[in-house]
């Protein structure tokens, strides 16, 4: 008979109970990864002061080895990103559509982590590339993690995931010389696009100002694909997801984006980080477009076609909750870089549809995480862990973090009493939608996917005149970079199927003779297929234009967290300065004092005023508006510097609001920025975003309009 063991003493704790994470730097000593304290972190172990480094220096080897391996493969797409923590709060339960608990409990604040990104560039590219922006949200819900992985554009380039590698290969730098970086303005991209007319709707979006947002905080987000809601009764609804920014949607000018890339390629990253650090927490409403399953085929497009959107005039967006980002990551690599999103991370009440792009994404994301994070245990990395217990029989693998003490790792079992058990649907177990399927296996595409131009035209028709001009200019720039003339001509020919004026304008800018598009148009189908079936068609749209598709038709007037440059100098009138600073603060904007030199300046009453930036370190492209306050007339050469003139003229050229008071207004007139809008000889007035000797409130109102694009018609700033 085995001898009975003595009970374990209370002080004999498990190793896991004794382990601590003291990586906070508060009075801690340096140590190796095994906990050995280090007394010299400056010098390697040598054979004498000037001798060879010894192989036995295990502290050096550990440090260098970790350094050599601390980079992981970057994402193939969405490599450059920025993230933040926050919470999601529900406005009202939507149990009639879905049984997902986080969408039915208004008392709960669901933690989230959001990652924004560019798509085509590598990790070292610029934030301001003309590109789609990723908008991925991980909800840490009481039923497990739910990932809503989308973009800032509601549609996509392709209809079937089979074409995704081709798309990415085409837009990436050309393989023979690895150029250009983070840009679509090159031959391989436009060669592919001009042969794939299903991309036309997405191309209209990427050539619009949506592809150069002012801030991550000022862009919409979309789930892109059509998903499915399931309620407690098992009833199904189709759903499209939207994120609506509380600050409105805003863009930068294309030339401005190019300059920002040189001045501050981290512009969007910095903007998000600083906004959160200063308490200007970004907010978005979560909106849904819900379609009963019985209405699936009532539209003039296919709900499962990812190159199509549902106009908000046809199915309004219901705003059901609010997301607030309120905390920056503690460590970029551990959180923003290691977070792993997957559209297959679902909770009960949300399911897939047969959207062929979505179906392919379900495979791609898991495969990518295995490669990038090096292990099937990527879900155990802290940023990826759900807030609910994880109980299953999956074991081992590289970098396993969980220490399992169970005696079994299989199901069913009797040794562990059958645990962990399968959950019934009534107990929260996930169950896929029981969709009836009666079809043959086939490689083909539904004819309902064949209309490639109607919504591209709808998007273009929905833009204001300045927005349409920006699209024309974007096509001109991008196709102007294409070296092979036949690709340019083919692409311009296809534009005729979107809008004749668009085609004619781009053709004129490129010196191309307007011609009929090549036949067949659609080269993305098998050569032996019925080309007539795949010939892109145009269906009559139920609406001619959609206000929701234009940014300029949806300006909300808020200037919260906008950054205003205040150009100052010694002798600045403190009354003029402080009145404007107070008005901007009340409106929630951030004013930055800019002078010729860093440090401080002296106001007209002798007060020392702290300078935020010197003129040589910043440029107008980094700010939303400019104010030039009054100064003491006795102050010699007040604001008379070449850098000031360039700063103001550049802001005028980029259509930004400008205000000037007193002597500041005289400076504005002297450099002739005001001459073009007939305010040179006026002592006070407002026109096209220029405020001369008006109230601070008038300037705040002008900033709320964001830009005054009508200035672009002046063609130049100075005479």
Q: Which residues are catalytic?
A: 78, 151
Q: Can you spell out the DSSP letters for 643-659?
A: HHHHHHHHHHHTT--EE
Token pair, residue 460, equals 């273009």
Q: Please name every residue paired with 351 in a beta bridge, in sequence order, or none if there are none.
A: 228
Q: Please name every residue paired with 288 in a beta bridge, in sequence order, or none if there are none.
A: 241, 318
Phi-psi region of 627 (alpha: psi -120 to 50; beta: other; left: phi over 0): beta
What is the β-pairing status of strands 318-327 and 350-351?
unpaired
Q: What are the angstrom distances between the C-alpha of 704 and each of 190, 271, 383, 557?
A: 37, 18, 37, 4
H/E stretch holding 510 reads helix 500-510
What is the β-pairing status of strands 81-90 and 318-327?
antiparallel
What is the β-pairing status of strands 685-687 and 133-141?
unpaired
b/e code 557-583 from CB counts within 10 Å (16+ = b): ebbbbbbbbbbbbbbbbbebbebbbeb
Q: Please name every residue paired with 237 in a beta bridge, in sequence order, or none if there are none.
A: 229, 292
Q: What are the angstrom distances between the C-alpha of 606 and each of 242, 573, 603?
A: 53, 10, 5
Could you say which DSSP state residue 537 is in?
A: B
Q: Distance between CA 448 and CA 359 in Å, rounded?
A: 18
Token pair, residue 676, equals 């073009």
Q: Can you spell out the DSSP letters for 238-256?
A: EEEEEEEETT---B--HHH
In this structure, are residues 408 and 393 in contact, taking their beta carbons and an 8 Å threshold? yes
Q: In what order do the strands lie in the sheet with 690-692?
A: 613-614, 590-595, 563-567, 625-628, 658-660, 690-692, 685-687
Backbone CA torsion sign across 9, 12, 13, 16: negative
In this structure, are residues 227 and 353 in contact, taking their beta carbons and an 8 Å threshold? yes
Helix (H/G/I), strand (E/B), else coil: 31: strand
What is the β-pairing status of strands 625-628 and 563-567?
parallel
Number of C-beta neighbours around residue 89 at 10 A: 15
Helix (H/G/I), strand (E/B), else coil: 373: helix
Phi-psi region of 182 (alpha: psi -120 to 50; beta: other; left: phi over 0): left
Q: Peptide bond preceding 39: is omega within 30 degrees of 0, i.e. cis?
A: no
In this structure, are residues 215 and 250 in contact, taking their beta carbons and an 8 Å threshold? yes
What is the β-pairing status of strands 608-610 and 600-602?
antiparallel
Q: Distance between CA 106 and CA 534 in Å, rounded?
A: 48
Helix axes 164-171, 356-373, angle to 10 degrees: 60
Q: Which alpha helices (H) appear in 587-711, and where do they start and end?
A: 642-653, 663-670, 696-704
């Amino acid at each position: 008979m085995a001898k009975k063991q003595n009970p374990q003493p209370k002080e004999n704790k498990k190793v896991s109970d004794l382990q601590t994470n003291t990586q906070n730097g508060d009075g801690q000593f340096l140590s190796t990864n095994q906990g050995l304290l280090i007394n010299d972190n400056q010098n390697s172990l040598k054979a004498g002061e000037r001798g060879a480094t010894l192989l036995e220096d295990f502290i050096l080897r550990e440090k260098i080895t970790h350094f050599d391996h601390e980079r992981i493969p970057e994402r193939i797409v969405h490599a450059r990103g920025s993230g933040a923590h926050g919470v999601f709060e529900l406005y009202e339960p939507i149990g009639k559509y879905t049984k997902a608990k986080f969408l039915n409990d208004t008392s709960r604040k669901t933690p989230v982590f959001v990652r924004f990104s560019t798509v085509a560039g590598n990790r070292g590219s610029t934030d301001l590339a003309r590109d789609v922006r990723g908008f991925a949200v991980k909800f840490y819900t009481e039923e497990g993690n739910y990932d809503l992985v989308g973009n800032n554009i509601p549609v996509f380039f392709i209809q079937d995931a089979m074409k995704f590698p081709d798309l990415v290969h085409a837009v990436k730098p050309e393989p023979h010389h690895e150029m250009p970086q983070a840009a679509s303005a090159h031959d391989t991209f436009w060669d592919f696009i001009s042969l794939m007319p299903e991309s036309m709707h997405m191309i209209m979006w990427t050539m619009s100002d949506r592809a150069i947002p002012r801030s991550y905080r000022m862009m919409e987000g979309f789930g892109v694909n059509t998903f499915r809601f399931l309620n407690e009764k098992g009833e199904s609804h189709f759903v499209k997801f939207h994120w609506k920014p509380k600050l409105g949607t805003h863009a930068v000018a294309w030339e401005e984006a190019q300059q920002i890339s040189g001045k501050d390629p981290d512009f969007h990253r910095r903007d998000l980080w600083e906004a959160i650090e200063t308490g200007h927490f970004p907010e978005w409403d979560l909106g849904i477009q819900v379609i009963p399953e019985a209405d699936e085929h009532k539209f003039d497009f296919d709900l499962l076609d990812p190159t199509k959107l549902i106009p908000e005039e046809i199915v309004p967006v219901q705003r059901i909750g609010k997301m607030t980002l309120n905390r920056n990551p503690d460590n970029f690599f551990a959180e923003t870089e290691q977070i792993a999103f997957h559209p297959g991370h679902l909770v009960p009440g949300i399911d897939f549809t047969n959207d062929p792009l979505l179906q392919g994404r379900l495979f791609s994301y898991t495969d990518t995480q295995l490669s990038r994070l090096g292990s099937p245990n990527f879900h155990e990395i802290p940023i990826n862990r759900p807030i609910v217990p994880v109980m299953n029989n999956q074991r081992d693998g590289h970098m396993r973090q969980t220490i399992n003490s169970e005696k079994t790792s299989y199901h069913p079992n009797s040794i562990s009493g059958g645990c962990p058990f399968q959950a019934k649907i009534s107990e929260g177990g996930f169950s896929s939608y029981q969709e009836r399927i009666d079809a043959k296996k086939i490689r083909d595409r539904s004819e309902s996917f064949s209309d490639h131009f109607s919504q591209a035209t709808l998007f273009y028709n929905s833009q204001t005149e300045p927005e349409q001009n920006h699209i024309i200019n974007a096509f001109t720039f991008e196709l102007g970079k294409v070296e092979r003339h036949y690709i340019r001509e083919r692409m311009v020919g296809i534009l005729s199927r979107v809008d004749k004026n668009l085609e004619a304008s781009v053709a004129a800018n490129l010196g191309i003779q307007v011609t009929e598009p090549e036949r067949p148009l659609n080269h993305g189908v098998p050569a032996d297929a019925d080309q007539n079936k795949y010939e892109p068609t145009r269906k009559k749209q139920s609406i001619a234009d959609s206000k929701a598709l234009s940014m300029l038709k949806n300006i909300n007037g808020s200037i919260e967290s906008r950054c205003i440059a205040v150009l100052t100098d010694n002798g600045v009138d403190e009354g003029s300065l402080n009145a404007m600073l107070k008005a901007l603060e009340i409106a929630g904007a951030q004013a930055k004092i800019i002078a010729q030199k860093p440090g401080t300046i002296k106001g007209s009453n002798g007060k020392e005023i702290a300078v935020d930036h010197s003129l040589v370190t910043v440029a107008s492209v980094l700010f939303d508006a400019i104010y030039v306050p009054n100064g003491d007339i006795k102050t010699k050469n007040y604001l008379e510097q070449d850098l000031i003139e360039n700063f103001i003229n550049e802001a005028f050229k980029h259509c930004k609001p400008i205000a000037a008071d007193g002597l500041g207004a005289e400076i504005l007139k002297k450099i002739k920025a005001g001459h073009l809008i007939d305010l040179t000889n006026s002592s006070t007035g407002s026109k096209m975003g220029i405020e001369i000797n008006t109230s601070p409130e008038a300037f705040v109102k002008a900033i709320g309009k964001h830009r005054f694009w009508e200035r672009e018609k002046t063609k130049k700033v100075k005479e």
